[in-house]
C-alpha cells in the first residue's frame, strides 16, 4: 500500500509541475529577447551596453587597465605554441599587427632562437579584408601523415558554425575546386587524400535536437555533396555522429562514433562497408596505440573476471580483445584524491596525465616484451601541466609546458624515457610575483564533503575581513580547474590588492568521474552547496567578508554564478555571470542546449523539472529580495549558449525594480566572448573594473581609480 501511495503522490506532483511549467512559459514576457538578431532586440542590447560602458569608463583606471591587458595579450614575448606538421612547426598567432591572426611556420632550429624567422602560411586579416568577411580562425584538420592538405575552419564573428575550405599546405593557398562546405556545425576527418568523412547540415532532418550532425557520410573528391554515401545515421535525440581514422605504429583503423548523450557513445569499427559495434561500455572513451586498444572508463566495468574502476585507463592487444580476451593492463586507476586528466602518444610511449589533490602528475608507459612498464616523470611545479607528442610516427619527443598562478609558462622539449629536457621558450612575468603566495585550503560542504580550494594572496595580507576577494568556479562536465598563470589576473586583480580563489567543487573532474557524477541531474544542488561552503569558509577565516566577496563563472560557471545570486545573495557583494545558462526551463530548446540534458536533466519531464526548477535562476529571482551587484556578460555570436539567457535575466531583474544590474553583450566573439585581443582586453577590463568598484576596501574609494 505504501508503494502505491508514493506512486500516486509522484504522479500528482508531476501533473502539478507540468501545470506550473505551462503557466510559467506563458508568463515569460521576456521571451522576445531570444530573437538574437532582431532589430528591437539589438536596440535593447545597445541601450544596456551604453549604460554599462558609461559606468565602467567613468572609473579613472579603466582605460589604463584595458591598455595593460591588451599589451599582455599582444606581447611578442608570449610563447608561440607549435605543432609539427611534416617537416615544419606551425603556430597560429595574434598580436597588434595581426588582430585576426596569422598562420605561420618555421623549423625547430629557427624556433630555438630568441626571435625566430617565421614564414606566413595564411594571413587572416588579409583574407578577411579581401573577402569583406569577419573571419575568425577556428582551426584546421590536416591529413596525417602526409600533411599536404588541410581543412580550414573559418567562423563569422567567432561562432561555432564554420565555413570549411581545403588548403594546400605546401602551396600556401586554397585548393581550386577542392573540398568546401557552407556555414554549419560540422564533424570532419580525412579518410584518404580524395575522401572525407563529413557530418554537416545536409538539409531538413539532418541535424540533431542539439544542432549537430545526425548523419555522417563518405564524400569523394570531385563529386557533389548530395551524392556522398551515408556511413551512419543517428537519432534525432542524439548529440551527434562522426567518423574518423586512427593511425599509430603503421596500423590503421576507421571508426564511427554515435554520441548518445554528452557522456555516452556507441563506438563502431568500420571494416569496408560494414560497421561492427565495439563491446565497450557507453560511458567509455577509446583510442589505439599500435596494436594496443586503449579504453578509458567513466563508470565501473565488470568484464571477464574483474571489475575495473570508474576513471581507469586500460590497455589490451586489440586482436586478443576482438577474440574475447578481457584481461586488461591497468595504466591508471584512481584513488580517493587522484584522477586521470588525459593522455598523449609518442612513437613508443603512452604519456598519462593525472591530478593528485588537484596537482599535476605525469607517468610514461612503455610496452616491453608484452609487459607494460612505467616511469614517473619529475615535474618542476605542482600546477597546470600539459603534454603533446611532437611526431608520433617518428619519435618519442614531446612538448611539456607547465605553470601555476605565480609561475609564468615554461615550454620544454622532452624525450620519453629520459630526463633530458630542453627549454624552448619561457613566458615573461607580466607582474611581480614575489609578494604573493599560493595556499590550498578545504571547506566542508553541507553534506560533510571536503572541498579543496586555492588561494592566491599577498604574503602580508591580514585576515581582518577587508580583502577584496574574487571566488571563481565551474563545477560541471568533468572539467577540472587547475593552477595556471594569467598575467591579466595579476595586473587587474592581484596588483590592486585583491585575493583570487578557485574552488574545486563537485561536478568538475578534479577527482575523476565520481566527483563529476556526484553533482549530476537531481544532485546538482551539491555543486552549489560546495561553492557556498567555500564562500562561507573564506568569511569564517576572515580572509574576506560579504562586503568584499565576489563570485564569477562562465558558461556552466555562469549558471553557478546565477544560482549564487538567487540562492545565497547574503554571501556576496558582486557577481559576474559570463555567457551563462540561466533559464533552465528552456535551455534545452535554445541552440546546443539539448546536448546538456545528460548533465542537468530534461525540464520537459515533470519529475526532472521538479528538481531543476528549485535552482533555475530565471525562475527564482524575486522582486522583494536584496541581491548583490550583478554583471551579465554574453556575446551576440554565441551559438552554443544562447545570449537570451543573459538578456532575459537582466530584463527580468530590471523589471522587478533591481537597480544594481548591469549587462554587456559583445556583438562578436562566439562562446569565448571575444573575436580578437582588443575585444578580449575590453571585456576583461569591463569585468574587473566592475568587480573592483564593488569589492574594493572601504578606505580605497578615492584611490581605486588610481591603481
pLDDT in tens, 506-554: 999 999 999 999 999 999 999 999 999 999 999 999 999 999 999 999 9
* Residue 332: partners with Cβ closer than 8 Å, 6 or more residues away: 311, 312, 313, 340, 352, 354, 363
Q: What is the pLDDT of residues 237-284, one digit of tens each?
A: 999 999 999 999 999 999 999 999 999 999 999 998 899 999 999 999
**Residue 19 predicted with pLDDT over 50:** no
Helix (H) or strand (E) holding 316: strand 313-317
Domain locations along the chain: 31-69+430-706
**Residue 559 predicted with pLDDT over 70:** yes
Segments in 415-545 forming alpha helices (H): 487-489, 513-517, 525-540
Query: Among residues 98, 267, 283, 671, which one is catalytic?
Result: 671
**Residue 5 predicted with pLDDT over 60:** no
Mean pLDDT on 674-697: 94
pLDDT grade for 707, boundaries at 50, 70 and 90? very low
pLDDT-wise least confident of 25-39, 145-159, 383-397, 399-413? 25-39
pLDDT at 13: 31
pLDDT at 700: 57
pLDDT-wise least confident of 23-32, 202-211, 422-431, 522-531? 23-32
> How far is the C-alpha of 639 from the C-alpha of 669, rounded, in Å?
10
pLDDT at 71: 95
pTM above 0.85, yes or no: yes
pLDDT grade for 639, boundaries at 50, 70 and 90? very high
Residue 57 grid cell: 569608463
Active site residue 595: no
Q: What is the pLDDT of residues 445-479, one digit of tens each?
A: 999 999 999 999 999 999 999 999 999 999 999 99
* Residue 97: partners with Cβ closer than 8 Å, 6 or more residues away: none
Mean pLDDT on 126-146: 96
pLDDT at 627: 98
Query: Among residues 310, 461, 555, 635, which one is catalytic?
Result: 555
**Residue 10 predicted with pLDDT over 70:** no
> How far is the C-alpha of 597 from the C-alpha of 210, rounded, in Å?
10
Active site residue 671: yes
pLDDT-wise least confident of 55-69, 90-104, 108-122, 373-387? 373-387
Q: What is the pLDDT of residues 89-108, one digit of tens each?
A: 999 999 999 999 999 999 99
CATH class of 31-69+430-706: alpha beta
Mean pLDDT on 290-314: 97
Mean pLDDT on 24-40: 86
Instruction: Give the rounded percent of residues in the chain with a pLDDT score beyond 90.
Output: 91
pLDDT-wise least confident of 15-29, 337-351, 507-521? 15-29
DSSP strands (E only) in 606-646: 629-635
C-beta of residue 162 within 8 angstroms of C-beta of residue 135: no
pLDDT grade for 699, boundaries at 50, 70 and 90? low
435-464 as b/e: b if 16+ CB within 10 A: ebebeeeebebeeebebbbbbbbeeebeee
Amino acid at each position: 500500500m505504501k508503494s502505491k501511495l508514493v506512486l500516486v503522490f509522484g504522479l500528482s506532483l508531476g501533473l502539478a509541475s507540468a501545470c506550473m511549467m505551462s503557466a510559467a512559459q506563458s508568463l515569460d514576457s521576456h521571451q522576445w529577447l531570444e530573437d538574437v538578431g532582431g532589430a528591437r532586440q539589438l536596440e535593447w542590447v545597445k541601450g544596456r551596453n551604453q549604460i554599462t560602458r558609461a559606468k565602467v569608463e567613468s572609473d579613472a583606471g579603466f582605460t589604463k587597465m584595458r591598455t595593460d591587458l591588451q599589451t599582455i595579450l599582444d606581447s611578442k614575448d608570449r610563447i608561440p605554441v607549435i605543432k609539427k606538421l611534416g617537416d615544419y612547426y606551425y603556430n597560429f598567432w595574434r598580436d597588434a599587427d595581426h588582430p585576426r591572426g596569422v598562420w605561420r611556420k618555421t623549423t625547430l632550429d629557427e624556433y630555438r632562437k630568441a626571435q625566430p624567422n617565421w614564414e606566413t602560411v595564411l594571413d587572416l586579416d588579409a583574407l578577411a579584408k579581401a573577402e569583406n568577411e569577419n573571419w575568425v580562425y577556428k582551426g584546421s584538420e590536416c591529413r596525417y601523415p602526409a600533411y599536404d592538405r588541410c581543412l580550414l575552419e573559418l567562423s563569422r564573428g567567432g561562432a561555432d558554425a564554420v565555413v570549411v575550405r581545403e588548403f594546400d599546405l605546401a602551396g600556401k593557398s586554397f585548393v581550386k575546386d577542392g573540398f568546401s562546405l557552407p556555414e554549419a556545425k560540422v564533424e570532419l576527418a580525412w579518410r584518404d587524400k580524395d575522401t572525407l568523412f563529413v557530418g554537416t547540415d545536409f538539409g531538413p532532418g539532418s541535424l540533431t535536437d542539439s544542432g549537430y550532425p545526425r548523419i555522417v557520410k563518405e564524400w569523394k573528391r570531385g563529386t557533389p555533396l548530395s551524392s556522398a554515401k551515408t556511413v551512419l545515421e543517428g537519432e534525432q535525440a542524439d548529440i551527434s555522429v562522426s567518423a574518423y581514422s586512427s593511425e599509430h605504429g603503421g596500423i590503421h583503423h576507421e571508426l564511427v562514433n554515435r554520441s548518445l548523450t554528452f557522456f555516452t557513445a556507441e563506438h563502431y569499427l568500420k571494416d569496408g562497408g560494414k560497421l561492427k559495434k565495439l563491446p565497450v561500455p557507453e560511458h567509455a572513451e577509446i583510442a589505439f596505440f599500435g596494436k594496443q586498444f586503449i579504453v578509458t572508463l567513466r563508470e565501473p566495468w565488470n568484464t571477464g573476471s574483474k571489475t575495473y574502476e570508474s576513471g581507469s585507463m586500460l590497455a589490451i592487444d586489440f586482436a586478443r580483445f576482438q577474440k574475447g580476451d578481457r584481461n586488461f593492463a591497468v595504466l591508471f586507476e584512481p584513488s580517493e584524491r587522484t584522477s586521470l586528466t588525459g593522455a598523449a602518444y609518442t612513437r613508443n610511449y603512452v604519456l598519462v596525465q593525472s591530478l593528485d589533490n588537484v596537482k599535476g602528475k605525469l607517468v610514461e608507459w612503455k610496452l616491453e616484451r608484452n609487459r607494460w612498464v612505467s616511469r614517473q616523470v619529475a615535474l618542476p611545479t605542482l600546477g597546470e601541466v600539459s603534454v603533446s607528442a611532437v611526431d608520433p610516427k617518428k619519435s618519442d619527443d614531446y612538448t611539456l609546458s607547465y605553470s601555476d598562478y605565480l609561475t609564468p609558462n615554461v615550454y620544454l622539449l622532452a624525450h620519453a624515457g629520459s630526463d633530458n629536457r630542453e627549454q624552448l621558450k619561457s613566458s615573461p612575468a607580466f607582474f611581480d610575483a614575489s609578494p604573493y603566495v599560493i595556499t590550498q585550503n578545504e571547506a566542508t560542504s553541507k553534506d560533510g564533503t571536503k572541498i579543496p580550494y586555492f588561494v592566491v594572496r599577498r604574503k602580508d595580507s591580514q585576515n581582518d575581513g577587508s580583502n577584496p576577494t574574487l571566488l571563481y568556479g565551474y563545477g560541471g562536465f568533468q572539467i577540472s580547474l587547475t593552477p595556471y598563470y594569467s598575467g591579466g589576473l595579476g595586473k587587474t586583480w592581484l596588483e590592486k590588492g585583491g585575493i583570487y580563489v578557485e574552488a574545486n567543487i563537485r561536478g568538475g573532474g578534479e577527482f575523476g568521474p565520481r566527483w563529476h557524477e556526484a553533482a549530476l541531474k537531481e544532485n546538482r544542488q551539491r555543486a552549489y552547496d560546495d561553492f557556498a561552503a567555500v564562500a562561507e569558509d573564506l568569511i569564517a577565516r576572515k580572509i574576506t567578508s560579504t562586503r568584499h566577496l565576489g563570485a564569477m563563472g562562465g558558461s556552466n560557471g555562469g549558471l553557478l554564478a546565477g544560482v549564487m545570486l538567487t540562492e545565497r545573495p547574503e554571501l556576496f557583494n558582486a557577481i559576474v555571470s559570463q555567457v551563462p545558462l540561466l533559464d533552465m526551463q528552456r535551455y534545452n530548446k535554445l541552440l546546443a542546449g539539448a546536448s546538456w540534458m545528460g548533465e542537468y536533466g530534461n525540464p520537459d519531464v515533470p519529475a526532472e523539472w521538479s528538481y531543476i526548477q528549485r535552482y533555475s535562476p530565471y525562475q527564482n529571482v524575486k522582486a522583494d529580495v536584496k541581491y548583490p551587484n550583478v554583471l551579465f556578460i554574453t556575446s551576440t555570436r554565441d551559438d552554443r549558449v544562447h545570449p537570451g539567457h543573459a538578456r532575459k535575466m537582466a530584463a527580468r531583474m530590471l523589471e522587478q525594480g533591481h537597480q544594481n544590474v548591469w549587462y554587456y553583450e559583445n556583438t562578436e566573439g562566439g562562446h569565448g566572448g571575444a573575436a580578437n585581443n582588443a575585444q578580449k582586453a575590453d571585456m576583461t577590463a569591463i569585468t574587473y573594473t566592475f568587480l573592483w568598484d564593488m569589492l574594493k576596501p572601504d578606505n580605497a574609494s578615492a584611490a581605486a581609480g588610481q591603481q
